[in-house]
Structure formats: C-alpha cells, structure tokens
Amino acid sequence: MKKLFGTDGIRGIVGKNLTADLSFKVARVFGMMITRDSPGPWKVIIGRDTRSSCEPLEDAICAGLISQGVDVSLAGVIPTPGLAYLTRTGQFNGGAMISASHNPAEYNGIKFISNDGFKITEERESAIEQALDNYDQLHFPKVPQGSVKRDLSLLLKYLEYLKQIEKISVSGLNVVIDLANGATFSIAPELFTALGANIVSISDKPDGMNINLNCGSTHLDNLQKAVLTHRADIGLAFDGDGDRVLAVDERGEIVDGDQIVLIEAIDFIQSGKLQNNTVVATVMSNYGLEIALREHNITLKRTSVGDRYVVEEMMKSGAVIGGEQSGHVVFLEYNTTGDGLITGVKLLSTLKRRGGKFSALAAMMQRLPQVQLNVNARSTKHWEHNTAVQEAIRQADRQIQGKGRIVVRASGTEPLIRVMVEGKDDSLNGLLANDIASVIQTEVEANRL
C-alpha cells in the first residue's frame, strides 16, 4: 500500500506533511529515474497554481531535478491539464505540477506527469516511495547540473491549442466564469472571449491565500447568484488547478459532472463520434446517469474514484468520453486528463449548436436523491477490515436492497472516509448514511480507525 501518493499525486499541509525537504528528495528521485530510463538531454516542465506556498516548493523541486542533470522549464501559473498537454508534445521527458487542486490554501501537492502526458503509473509512484524509504543508501550519479529557465510562452501554446478545438463561434452566449482564484484566472477569460462569448469573471483575483475560498467548483453559491444577476445563459466554475468544472444553468441550477458527461455523450453519438457507444464514470456517479445513457443505447462502465482510473478504463474500452460527478471530464481525443477548459469549450459549443436553454440539455438526466457524508479519520488504511463498519454497511444494504445503492470509500486526497447512499427515497438515504457514518465515528473515537 502506498504511503505518500494518493489518487492524485502527493498532497498535504505545507510545513507539516509536505515540506521543501520532501519535495527536493522526491524530485531528485524522479530526476534520477528520468536520466536512468532515457537518453539525454533531459527536460522537465514545472507548473503551479496560485498558492503562496508554490514558489518555495518550486525552488525545492527545481533543485532536486537539476541535481540530476535535468533542465527545467518553469511554466508559471498554468492549469494541470495545460501541463499535461505540453508534456506530451515531445519537448519534455516529464512534468511536475504543484497544486492541491480543490483543497484550501494551506494544502499543496505535487503531481508527476510522464512524457506521454499521463500521470506517472502507480508502479512508478511505488518505486519513488521505496527509494525514499532508502534515501540515505541511494547512490545518485555525479552529473553536470541542469539549467532552469522561465518560459511563460508555454501557457500561450496551451491557449492556442484550446482555441482550435471547436470551429464554431459561441458569439451571443452570455457566460459567467468562476475562476476559483486559481490556475485558470488569466487563461480562461482570454479563451472564452476569443471564442466569441460575452464573459463576466468572478473570483479572478488570486492573492496566494484565497484559492478555492468560498468559490470555484466546490462553492457554487456565488456563481449561481451571478448567473441570475447577469442573466447569463450558462455559468462555469473551475477548481484551483483547472482540471475540473461544474456548470450552472440560466435558472441558477447546478449542472454536475454526470449531467455534463451525458450532454456531451449524446452530442457525440449524434455526430457519430462516440466510439463503441461507451462512456466511463466512477462508482460515485448517480444512477440517473446510467438510466439516461441506457435510453440512448450507451453503455456505462464504472471505475474506482479518481480520474486516473477513469482514463485507464477509457483506454481499455476505447471510450472517448469519461468523467466524475465532481467535474473531472476527460475527452481523450484532446487531452490525457480531466480538463475544465476543454469541457467548458465543448459545453458552450454544444449549447450554441443545439440552441435553446442550457436547462433543457441538463434535464436529459434526472438525478436520483443522493446523500454524501464525510467522517474525519486518523487513518483511512484499514477501515475495510473493521468489523463494526462492515456490519453497518451490510445492515444498510439489506434495507435499501432493490431501492438504491451504497458506496463507502476512503478519500484518496484527505483523511476522510466518505459515505454515499443513493436511492429514490431521500429520507431513507439520509437515515442509512447517518447510521453508517455514526458507526465509523464511534470506531474513530475508540481509536479503532
């Protein structure tokens, strides 16, 4: 079991379990592996979001990489999917993104990208962890130090790529964008304006500490109000590193990742582009998505939570669209990871092409009531083997049998155990979710979790 990497790279509270020293060592090992596995010269691109902690971590990562003879290009503030796109252009041996995505400012993280634009494999992550466990015994090769250069043109290359994805102009659409004071704050307004939309931006003034603070894809209240105030056709809310987006329709109603996947899957099937008539989503996606897809003869394949697993299944099954309820939507034709900006471009283009109201597109899927609860846990490693928790889940399963489904899982990015109950009876959902969460809380307080 991995100790350092979660479902989305390394993540932690800066100065506590994510330090400059750890960042240096991880980057040094990553650099050693790159120089060992491929001929030189070696180049790695580093990107970051807007957290004030990014720059010192960037310095530490640079130091680790150049110590292994790797040349570093600093892209500055750039969305994670932008870094993934640039990494697979053939110019770089890998990438490192400094971000904690949707988490608050006190968190940060490191995601490593392979030269194919995909996140490094779980096997590579385990190898890095093993190397860190034996760090003092490692023999790093003596090589000439690599160089560091800042290259802000890299963001512009990503912007130019995004502009040409859809040929249709979205002129006339009124759009509010919530930039989460994060990595999309400069590129998103320029992109959507260039495509012809009338843009109103909110949460677009990052100060190093306000990323995701009551804004972005995890806090939609401000976007909902802004859409109504400005009589917008659609609102888009990004997260801190720009790899996810949620939407709001013209009535101020939330349109989640499941609905976005459905809207785009139907658009693809109508244009003959939905390969194998298959869509990929996670176990957390609403059963209403499965019902709506079935009505269009589209097969849904489910995976564990994490866009890594969505992408793996997409490649395995030949699917071109996949995503998560949280707003990670993957279009493999265009990028190797969830990309909020590409998703936004596709949504605006679909809305313009189809005409009518965005709420009508969202209404193609009817969500079943769903209750989600989070329980703080000291450790999320052994909950599956806790007898009391498993009995609580079995009892809940018996009560909801035939009326819904239950998913209990450990968060891959935070010390939380997540409980989800879904079914037609909302009151029963809440009762069962609370029963399971109460047992988990009792076990935590008794130091059994």
The set of catalytic residues is 101
3-state secondary structure of 184: coil
Cβ(420)–Cβ(410) below 8 Å? no
Q: Identify residue 94 by its one-letter amino acid code.
A: G
Q: Find out whether 436 and 393 touch, Cβ atoms under 8 Å.
A: yes
**Distance between CA atoms of residues 348 and 371, nearest Å:** 30
**Cβ neighbours of residue 120 closer than 8 Å, sequence gap 6 or more:** 94, 112, 113, 114
**Burial 360-372, CB ≥16 within 10 A → b, else e:** ebbeebebbbbbe
SS (H, E, C) 255-291: ECHHHHHHHHHHHHHHCCCCHHHEEEEECCCCHHHHH
Whether 273 and 331 have beta carbons less than 8 Å apart is answered as no
CA distances from 176 to 100, 202, 252 (A): 24, 7, 11
> Do 362 and 347 touch, CB atoms closer than 8 A?
no
The three state secondary structure string of 13-76 is EECCCECHHHHHHHHHHHHHHHHHHCCCCCEEEEEECCCCCHHHHHHHHHHHHHCCCCEEEEEE
- C-beta atoms surrounding 429 within 10 Å: 24
